[in-house]
């Protein structure tokens, strides 16, 4: 729902922020996913191709179609979209251009960190006796608005990060950012005034909601969030503290205040840091950024933590972020369900669904880390490899040159989605049983 709300913002501002210049093209591309089978008959890779829906001469079609792309919304929401010419960029529907430039594909962790605590709290509440449930408040509307707030500020930060890196990591022609996605400012697809208008427009929902939250328990989140928003790239990232800040933002800040938005009463700042659910969401963000900064060890001027650690220590650190969420979840379940038998646990039993990643995502990611640093041009696994996942498959050709971040994010996002989905399934199941019985 929160992502849909953000998409509506994209649709609303498309003509104001990103007007299409040049003639309108009547030929519409059809983007299709084609699975190619290897000799054994297994699916080996997925590639996107374009075909023109026109009866025009084939040569004329080729000249037109090479400058037209229209990625599906699923692709836009899943992976960074590359675009090498302004003609291709302008051929993309405006709402999708806003989403691509804002890097909406990386907003999943924000959606989970902000709204996930509400689902976990609801599942825990449904498992309690009726008398105890009455004292455990749920505020779904506030949780949803807090999620939209977080998504808006995250999208704005992505744009701000591109602006701040323009004369730094992204200043070279072979920058890592251009290798895997679209940098509309560096590539000249958007002027600086247009980029600033886009940045301001994307931030409107966050600014409005932050103002509305000023007299609520969520007010401190704005202060800490805006501080992290503006100083992450220029202050913390260059001194190897960026990863720690990411953990704090996606953990105590988003998930911690997400608990408050879900209905938890304020009991001081300590629960924001000690709640195991908060730690799990924070670790998901940490795993993703550790993978990204490990990919950029030789391609960044910033002294990030992986760059300070170097190879192979950075790979061991990435591995720790894969294993730790499982340990925290298991330890919490054992402590609250077996050892102390907490009256009101913090993690619902349905969260156990996240352990499914132990069979696919976790071992595959750890194997990639064991294989070590890939070359600049080739991954350590054949490009046509497709690894079966619990919710989504890992497709090497589709992800490259993203590598450690692709696998770390694949595990982190799958783990947290399963954590939230399992909790939601438990909540729904208990609600149905209570009505039936």
Total number of domains in the chain: 2
Task: Give whole-number Cα distances, 292 to 76, 112, 133, 177, 405, in Å.
Answer: 19, 19, 42, 11, 5
If asked whether residues 80 and 128 sit together in one domain, one would say no
Do 300 and 394 belong together in one domain? yes
The verdict on 162 and 97 lying in the same domain is: no
Q: How confident is the model over 57-99, as pLDDT tens digits?
A: 443 344 445 567 888 998 899 888 888 889 989 999 999 999 9
Q: Is 193 exposed, middle or buried (0-12, 13-18, 19+ CB in 10 A)?
A: exposed
Same domain? For 188 and 74 the reply is no
The residue segments making up the domain with residue 44 are 2-12+25-101
pLDDT at 6: 44
Please answer whether residues 385 and 295 qualify as being in contact, where contact means their C-beta atoms are separated by less than 8 angstroms.
Answer: no
Question: Where is average pLDDT lowest: 82-86, 174-178, 421-425?
Answer: 174-178
Mean per-residue pLDDT of the chain? 83
Q: Are residues 327 and 232 in the same domain?
A: yes
248 inside domain: yes
Domain end among 101, 116, 133: 101
Question: Do 351 and 414 belong together in one domain?
Answer: yes
Question: How many Å separate Cα 352 from the centre of its chain?
Answer: 22
pLDDT for residue 406: 95
Domain boundary among 53, 70, 101: 101
383 and 244, same structural domain? Answer: yes
21-30, 103-112, 207-216: lowest mean pLDDT where?
A: 21-30
Indicate if the pLDDT at residue 27 is higher than 60.
Answer: no
pLDDT tens per residue across span 300-358: 788 899 999 999 999 999 999 999 999 999 999 999 999 988 888 999 999 999 999 99
Identify the residue whose tokens are 């080996």.
44
| Phi (first) and psi of residue 49, to 5 degrees | -135, 160
Within-domain flag for 376: yes
Spatial CB neighbours of 35, under 8 Å, sequence gap ≥ 6: 43, 44, 45, 46
Are both 117 and 92 inside the same structural domain?
no
Tokens of 157: 């930060």
Q: Is 19 domain-assigned?
A: no
Ranges 80-94, 104-118, 283-297: which has the least confidence: 80-94
157 and 47 in a common domain: no
Q: Are the CB atoms for 151 and 107 separated by under 8 Å?
A: yes
pLDDT at 127 over 60: yes
**pLDDT greater than 80 at residue 270:** yes
Q: What pLDDT score does 84 carry? A: 84
Residues 48 and 166 in one domain: no
| 58/113 same-domain check | no
The pLDDT score that the predictor gives to residue 30 is: 28
What count of other Cβ atoms lies within 10 Å of the Cβ of residue 370? 11
> pLDDT tens digits, residue range 350-363?
999 999 999 999 99
Give the Cβ contact number of residue 168 at 10 Å. Answer: 16
């Amino acid at each position: 729902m929160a992502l849909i709300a953000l998409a509506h913002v994209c649709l609303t501002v498309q003509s104001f922020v990103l007007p299409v210049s040049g003639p309108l093209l009547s030929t519409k591309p059809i983007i299709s996913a084609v699975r190619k089978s290897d000799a054994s008959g297994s699916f080996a890779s997925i590639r996107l191709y374009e075909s023109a829906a026109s009866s025009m001469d084939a040569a004329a079609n080729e000249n037109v179609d090479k400058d037209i792309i229209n990625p599906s919304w699923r692709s836009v929401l899943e992976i960074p979209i590359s675009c090498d010419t302004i003609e291709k960029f302008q051929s993309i529907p405006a709402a999708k251009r806003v989403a691509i430039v804002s890097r909406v594909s990386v907003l999943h962790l924000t959606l989970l960190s902000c709204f996930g605590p509400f689902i976990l709290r609801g599942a825990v509440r449904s498992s309690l006796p009726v008398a105890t449930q009455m004292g455990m408040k749920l505020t779904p509307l506030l949780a949803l608005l807090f999620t939209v707030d977080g998504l808006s500020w995250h999208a704005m930060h992505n744009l701000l990060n591109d602006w701040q890196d323009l004369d730094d990591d992204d200043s070279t022609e072979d920058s890592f950012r251009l290798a895997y996605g679209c940098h509309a400012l560096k590539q000249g697809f958007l002027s600086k005034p247009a980029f600033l208008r886009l940045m301001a427009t994307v931030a409107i929902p966050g600014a409005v909601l932050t103002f509305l939250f000023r007299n609520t328990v969520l007010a401190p989140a704005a202060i800490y969030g805006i501080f992290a928003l503006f100083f992450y790239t220029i202050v913390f990232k260059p001194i190897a503290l960026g990863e720690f800040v990411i953990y704090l933002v996606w953990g105590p800040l988003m998930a911690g205040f997400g608990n408050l938005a879900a209905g938890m009463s304020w009991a001081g700042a300590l629960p924001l840091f000690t709640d195991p659910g908060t730690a799990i969401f924070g670790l998901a963000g940490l795993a993703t950024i550790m993978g990204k900064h490990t990919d950029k060890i030789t391609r960044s001027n910033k002294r990030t933590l992986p760059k300070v650690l170097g190879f192979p220590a950075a790979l061991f650190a990435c591995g720790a972020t894969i294993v730790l969420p499982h340990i925290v979840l298991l330890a919490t379940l054992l402590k609250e369900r077996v050892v102390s038998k907490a009256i009101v646990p913090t993690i619902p039993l349905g969260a156990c669904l996240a352990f499914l990643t132990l069979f696919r995502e976790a071992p595959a990611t750890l194997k990639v880390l064991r294989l070590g640093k890939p070359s600049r041009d080739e991954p350590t696994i054949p490009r046509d490899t497709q690894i079966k996942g619990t919710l989504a498959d890992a497709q090497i050709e589709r992800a490259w040159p993203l590598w450690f971040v692709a696998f770390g994010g694949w595990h982190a996002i799958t783990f947290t989605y399963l954590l939230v989905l399992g909790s939601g399934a438990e909540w729904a199941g208990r609600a149905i049983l209570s009505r039936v019985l």
